[in-house]
Structure 1
Amino acid sequence: MLEAKLAEAGTLKKLLDAIKELVTDANFECNEEGLNLQAMDNSHVALVSVHLEAAGFKRYRCDRPMPLGVNLSSLTKVLKCAKDDDECTLKAADEADVLNLVYEAKNSDRIAEYDMKLMDIDSDTLGIPDTDYDAEVIMPSAEFARIVRDLSALGESVRIEVSKEGVRFASEGESANGSILLKKDGEISRVLTDKERKAAKARARGEEPEEDDEEENGDDEDKPKEKKIKKEKVKKEKDGDEDVEMDEEEKDEEEFKAESDEEEKSEGGSDDEEEGGKKRKKKANGSSKPAKKAKTTANGKGKGKGKGKKDEEDKPEFSFSMNSHVSLTFSLKYLVNFAKSTSLTNTVELRMSNEVPLLVDYDFGQGYVRYYLAPKIGDE
C-alpha cells in the first residue's frame, strides 16, 4: 500500500506543469526511498528524471515497490481542483487500478476526494551512468529562462560555450543573430568528479565519506574560500600560518567595529567630524577595509553608499567551473520547455561535456527534476 502526504499540493502541480508537454504517459515508481519518474519524449531526444524524496513528504508509507501508471494530462486536471496550499494525500492499494487523491484545506474543514484510473504502461528504466563533466554552470533559473526565451525568437538552436572568457549563449536566425555572455570575476575553479561530489554531499549531511581521498576533495568543495585565503597567507608569511590566521581574524573584527563607529558618527555628528573620523579610521585599519565592506553588503548588513556596492547587490548569482573548453549546440524548443521548472526553484545547474547529453538540474529541496538533452551534430 502507498500513502504519501504532501504539505502543499502546489509542489506537485508545478512539477507536472513542467514536464507534461514533454511526457504524455509515465510510471511513478514508488518505493521506500520516495517517488521516481523517468521517461523520454516522443522523439527520444530528451530524457526526464524526477525524484521526490520520502523525507520531503509530511507522511510517507510504501510497503513494497509498485508502479503507478498515469496520464500526466489527466493527473494535472485532477490536481487543478486543489488549492496550492491544500494538503495533498496520494493513496493506492497493492495492485490497484485507481489512484486516490485527498485534498485537505488548511483554513477550513473542507476535504475533497478524487479517484483517477491508473494505466498499464510498459516502460524500461534506463540506467543513467555517472558522468564526470568538463564544465558546470550554476545560475539563477529565471535568468536561464529569459535567455532561452529571448533567443528562441531568433532561431531554433543555441550554442552554449564555456571558456575562460565565461559562458556564452549564441543563436543564429535567418533575419538576426544574438549572443549573451555571462562573465565571472576571479579564478575559475575545477569541476568536481562524481565521486568528489558524492563525498561533498555526504559531508553536508553530516556523514563520513567512504574513502579518505573523497573526504579531502569534499572538504575542498565545502570550504573554497578558506583554501584561497590560506594560499594568500602562505605567500605573505612562510612560517607561523596559524598566527597569521589569527591576526587576520582580529583585523576583520577591528574593521567591523571601526565601520560601525563611522556609521554612527555619520548619522549623529557633523560633516567635519565625520570626515575627521574617516581619516583616523583609514589610517588605523589600512587598505583591507573595502573588502570588509563588500562582505557586509553581500550579507545584507552594509548600507552600500557607493554605486559599485549597489551593482554588486543587484548582480544575479552566477558561477561556473571547467576542466576544458566546451561548445555544444542544442534545440531551443526543448530548453524552453525545461525552463518551465523555474517555478520550483530559483537556481538551475547546467553540466556539459563534448559529445555528451546536456544535464539541466533543478533541485528544489523535496527532490529534483533533471533533464538530459542530446546535442545537435553537424549544426553550425
Structure 2
Amino acid sequence: MFRARLEQARVLKKLVNAFVDLGIRHEKIAFSKEGIMLRGMDKFHICQVEFFLAKRAFESYALCHDLCMSLPIDVASLATVLKKTNNDDVCTLKAGHRAKVLTVTIEARDQPWLVSKHDVPLIDPGSEYLVISRIQYDAKITMIARIVHELHELSGSVDIQIIHEEARFTALDEGMGKPLSYLQVHYDFYEGVLKYYIAPKITDEEEN
C-alpha cells in the first residue's frame, strides 16, 4: 500500500504536464522509499523525459514495508485530474496492493471542507523505454531557463560550442544542425529533479 500527501499540488501538476506537452500518454509511475519517479518517451522516440519527486517533498509519505510499487497509468487522465487543482491545494495519492486505480484526493487549503476524490484507472502501458546508456559527457553547463526560451523564439535548431570555459549558442536555419550524442537537460529543484534526454536531429541527407 502507498499513500503520500503533498502540501502544494502545483509541483506534481507541473511535472505531469511536462509529459503531456510531449504527447506522452501511457507510462508507469514508480513508488519507492526514496520517492516517486515517472519516465516516458514521446511517440517519435526523439525525447525521453523523467521526473523524480523526493520523499522530502511530501508532508507525509508511507510505503508498506518499504517495497517498490509500479503502476501503469494514463498520464493524460492524471493531468486532467490535477488540472482541477489550485496551486496551493493539498493533494494526496493513494494506491493499495494490486490496485486497479490510483486515488487522487484534492483538498482546498482555504476551504478544508471542500474535498474531491478521483480514481485514475490503471492500464497496460504497451510501450518501451528508450534505453539511455551511461555517457561520459564532455561538458556540463548550468544556465538560466530564459536563455533557452529566447533561443527557441529565434530558431528550432541550435548549435552549441564549448570552448574552454565559454559556451556559445548559435541559432541555425532549419537543416543546418550538426548530429551529436544524446543531450541531457537537467532541472534541479528542492523537491526533486526533471530530466530530458534529447536525441540528435538527423536530416534527410544524413539518413541517405
The TM-score range, normalised by the shorter chain, is 0.7 to 0.9
Is 1:69 the counterpart of 2:81? The answer is no
- Alignment match of 1:116 (pick from 83, 102, 120): 120
Letter paired with 1:12: L
Give the SS at the match of 1:371: strand
Q: Conserved in 1, the CA contact under 8 Å of 2:73 and 2:122?
A: yes
Give the SS at the match of 2:141: strand
TM-score under structure 2 normalisation? 0.85
Sequence identity percentage: 34
Q: Deviations for 1:101-130, whole angstroms, at most 9, x for unmatched residues?
A: 111122222222111211122455666444
Q: Conserved in 1, the CA contact under 8 Å of 2:48 and 2:130?
A: no
Q: State the match for 2:201 in structure 1.
A: 376
Q: State the match for 1:142 in structure 2.
A: 146
Is 1:6 the counterpart of 2:6? The answer is yes
Q: State the match for 2:50 in structure 1.
A: 49
Distance in 1 (alpha carbons) for counterparts of 2:173 and 2:132: 34
Letter paired with 1:62: L
Shift of 1:169: 2.1
Is 1:19 the counterpart of 2:23? The answer is no
Letter paired with 2:201: K
Is 1:89 the counterpart of 2:92? The answer is yes
Distance in 1 (alpha carbons) for counterparts of 2:184 and 2:171: 20
Q: Deviations for 1:223-267, whole angstroms, at most 9, x for unmatched residues?
A: xxxxxxxxxxxxxxxxxxxxxxxxxxxxxxxxxxxxxxxxxxxxx
Distance in 1 (alpha carbons) for counterparts of 2:2 and 2:128: 22
Structure 1 residues 71 and 3: alpha-carbon distance in aligned structure 2, compared to 1, 3 A threshold: same
Structure 1 residues 124 and 65: alpha-carbon distance in aligned structure 2, compared to 1, 3 A threshold: farther
Larger Rg: 1
Is 1:131 the counterpart of 2:119? The answer is no
Structure 1 residues 141 and 172: alpha-carbon distance in aligned structure 2, compared to 1, 3 A threshold: closer
Give the SS at the match of 2:56: helix
Structure 1 residues 118 and 164: alpha-carbon distance in aligned structure 2, compared to 1, 3 A threshold: same
Q: Gaps (5+ residues) in structure 2? A: none
Shift of 1:3: 0.3
Q: Conserved in 2, the CA contact under 8 Å of 1:160 and 1:329?
A: no
Distance in 2 (alpha carbons) for counterparts of 1:59 and 1:127: 33
Q: State the match for 1:359 in structure 2.
A: 184
Give the SS at the match of 1:42: coil
Q: Deviations for 1:253-296, whole angstroms, at most 9, x for unmatched residues?
A: xxxxxxxxxxxxxxxxxxxxxxxxxxxxxxxxxxxxxxxxxxxx
Greater fraction of residues in strand: 2
Distance in 1 (alpha carbons) for counterparts of 2:154 and 2:120: 38
Instruction: Provide the aligned length of Structure 1 versus Structure 2.
Output: 200
Shift of 1:368: 0.7
- CA RMSD, Structure 1 to Structure 2 (Å): 2.4
